[in-house]
Structure 1
């Protein structure tokens, strides 16, 4: 039997803010529910632009159900898509699921078939949105640097999150602005089947998912731009698989940003903008910007291990995962030792058991971890800085990697790499006027 995945046209009730998305995988049926804030303007909810974004959101949310079996055919006969929108959907299901395919050894690149009705309308919807910013908050350092930058240049923004928990909630409390939250309820049967034999499980492009949900809120509640906090190193992949680079952070990459920005703009007649404020920066540069203020030290976390689907009431940092190690590493050159140890609760660079993880991050062994971490050469450059830093050069991990670091890269390359980390890129999608203001403040 040929397996297939089907997507029904979604529904939205503006009275209670409930959006429902239905899917079929062979003989299985699933329904996902989004709970948006109530009180949306019914006229906006019935607009062609919102209807288009709701349809596109159905495709992007569908990756969670599709991946149970990852069939080659995707069908949505009741949804109209333009050729550009079809290309966007295929990109989400191919590159957005690239890590999932690689880790499950599934060859899907260039092989997926998408069947939809054809949207041949050339007239763009007329839409007007207030000059306001919706800012997704992830609870980590990146979005909080965006908070500080937007605040300093006088841009009005609203914090946004889907299923907020842990450091997202504490960060938003510290920001002090009323947030816009959405609840996302995945089908319980999908979650159960993902743990059963005969079904696949793995990484999905969460940034793409949350971005589409944010686009619905932007139209319903009046925001003309969605501002992400993705750095330039998110564009670096992990491994080659099935003839293509696969990237854990694909939906944070510049390539995807340009693609989804174009789709959202076309769907709204140019009214809705989408870009990353931190795209010019390396992770190290973002870390240096974060150290300028201390109001988020006790509330933020970039640790994924302690904040999974069901949340966690434990410490903000596990201190054991690659993400914790990477964040500690890039903060160390710029942050006072006592302050960094207070944030993490211990010195991750002075525990020999962590050395293998740090070696992976800096390209001395294995592959780049399947995590939202920066570029390999960036990590190596930060290590190089620490070998010459009075606060860190005697720590066990720094001493343990020093010889191999110098042998593999050489001091000259590491010096150039660190300088490059601290040099802002011009390869970004930020509106010019805003880019100039932010660049002037971030000097």
Structure 2
């Protein structure tokens, strides 16, 4: 099947209904995706060049879900003008953002994609926005730690989510602040084709997608910051492919944060900020912060197997996927066994049948799982820490992995890694004034 171009049409927003329409073309096929934004948007903002600029960028980023059906080499957005920086941003989303998709489908696209779009040489207007934050909530531990830090620092913020369900709804309910929710409806034909022979399917950069949707809401409802909850561990990739590192979490990485943050700032005349408040921290460090508060124990979940785009069914944790195993592993050093098994419903370190999963997480077998998990050495260091704790040392997983951990890494490297996990990184984009307000509450 031969396809030469993926076509992205100019999007349209109806302020009366809150509906945004995105239209795409792939060969002779047409697709339409919609967003339902909250009603009550500022009419001036909706008609502004700033919003129209972000709307065009959102159309391009959301298009990855349709592009990947056939992954052609050319992308065309004939009615969406782009600056040189924005062109580089688009190529980054379609190359590195889809890095896992290419690796798992053995598709070589790096350096080969072309983008056809008119040039934008206009100087963006300064779009004044109110001093408050829009905070994406994913239903997991990370965004809840962000909430606790922001509340302690008395920062004005609003929870935000796309297609909220399951642990997102229960977490936001516990937060107790009225949220901004957006309904995203994918084209049904795209979903059908993604399951058919002759078409590709795979991972898309969901954080990039949701971030662009959040940017639209920031302009329409007057927020000058989008505050993410991406940790420093997210910057570590999974495998080398086609001359680059493919990272399941690329759109959560510091590299992508730098790119999209600059694009959003420049498109709004410097008014809209974008950064992760958890960037200085490792996953293990975030686990220690989460463990200080118990009110979210039975409303949050980081399990992707039981929490899909189509809905949430069953328990909060499946207990079988790499994400469940990793989260259990980083919580074990900072929570009592009773509390942790109460959260998960079982002791995941007492199940020998999942030994291989823990070996992958700690770098003792295979590759780092295609999941939102922390660094290999981070997982190894946390498991090593459990070997020194009486309540965990005799668990089957801990006993079986201990000799190989020591043989592969050595005690001194594991001890050093444990200390480094608790040291905050200076590599982040948190504004200095906010970092000074947050830091005391992270001690």
Q: TM-score, normalised by structure 1?
A: 0.99
- 1:88-167 superposed matches below 5 A: 88-121=89-122, 123-167=123-167
Hey, what does 1:79 align to over in structure 2?
Answer: 80
Q: Is the 8 A contact 1:303 1:318 kept in 2?
A: yes
- 1:29-428 superposed matches below 5 A: 29-121=30-122, 123-428=123-428
Q: Is the 8 A contact 2:10 2:56 kept in 1?
A: yes
In the TM superposition, what is the alpha-carbon distance from 1:104 to its structure 2 partner? 0.2
Quote the Cα distance in structure 2 between the aligned partners of 1:335 and 1:436: 28
State yes or no: 1:21 paired with 2:22. Answer: yes
Quote the Cα distance in structure 2 between the aligned partners of 1:278 and 1:183: 26
Quote the Cα distance in structure 2 between the aligned partners of 1:159 and 1:57: 20
Quote the Cα distance in structure 2 between the aligned partners of 1:309 and 1:268: 31
In the TM superposition, what is the alpha-carbon distance from 1:337 to its structure 2 partner? 1.1
Quote the Cα distance in structure 2 between the aligned partners of 1:234 and 1:41: 35
In the TM superposition, what is the alpha-carbon distance from 1:81 to its structure 2 partner? 0.3
1:54-91 per-position Cα deviation (integer Å, ceiling 9, x unaligned) = 00000000000000000000011111001110000000
5+ residue gaps, structure 2, are: none
Quote the Cα distance in structure 1 between the aligned partners of 2:271 and 2:358: 44
Quote the Cα distance in structure 2 between the aligned partners of 1:89 and 1:126: 23
Secondary structure of the structure 2 residue equivalent to 1:220: helix
Secondary structure of the structure 2 residue equivalent to 1:159: strand
Secondary structure of the structure 2 residue equivalent to 1:87: helix
1:161-194 per-position Cα deviation (integer Å, ceiling 9, x unaligned) = 0000100000000000100000000000000000
Quote the Cα distance in structure 1 between the aligned partners of 2:27 and 2:239: 31
Q: Is the 8 A contact 2:18 2:39 kept in 1?
A: yes
Secondary structure of the structure 1 residue equivalent to 2:88: helix
In the TM superposition, what is the alpha-carbon distance from 1:390 to its structure 2 partner? 1.4
Q: TM-score, normalised by structure 2?
A: 0.99
Quote the Cα distance in structure 2 between the aligned partners of 1:191 and 1:316: 25
Q: Is the 8 A contact 2:3 2:70 kept in 1?
A: no
Secondary structure of the structure 2 residue equivalent to 1:80: coil
Secondary structure of the structure 2 residue equivalent to 1:91: helix
In the TM superposition, what is the alpha-carbon distance from 1:2 to its structure 2 partner? 4.7
Secondary structure of the structure 2 residue equivalent to 1:70: coil
Hey, what does 2:9 align to over in structure 1?
Answer: 8
In the TM superposition, what is the alpha-carbon distance from 1:42 to its structure 2 partner? 1.3
Quote the Cα distance in structure 2 between the aligned partners of 1:99 and 1:405: 28
In the TM superposition, what is the alpha-carbon distance from 1:124 to its structure 2 partner? 2.2
| Aligned length in residues | 442
In the TM superposition, what is the alpha-carbon distance from 1:436 to its structure 2 partner? 1.6
**4+ runs deviating over 2 angstroms:** none
Q: Is the 8 A contact 1:16 1:39 kept in 2?
A: no
1:182-222 per-position Cα deviation (integer Å, ceiling 9, x unaligned) = 00000000000000000000000000000000000000000
5+ residue gaps, structure 1, are: none
Quote the Cα distance in structure 1 between the aligned partners of 2:21 and 2:273: 25
Quote the Cα distance in structure 2 between the aligned partners of 1:438 and 1:132: 15
Quote the Cα distance in structure 1 between the aligned partners of 2:25 and 2:124: 31
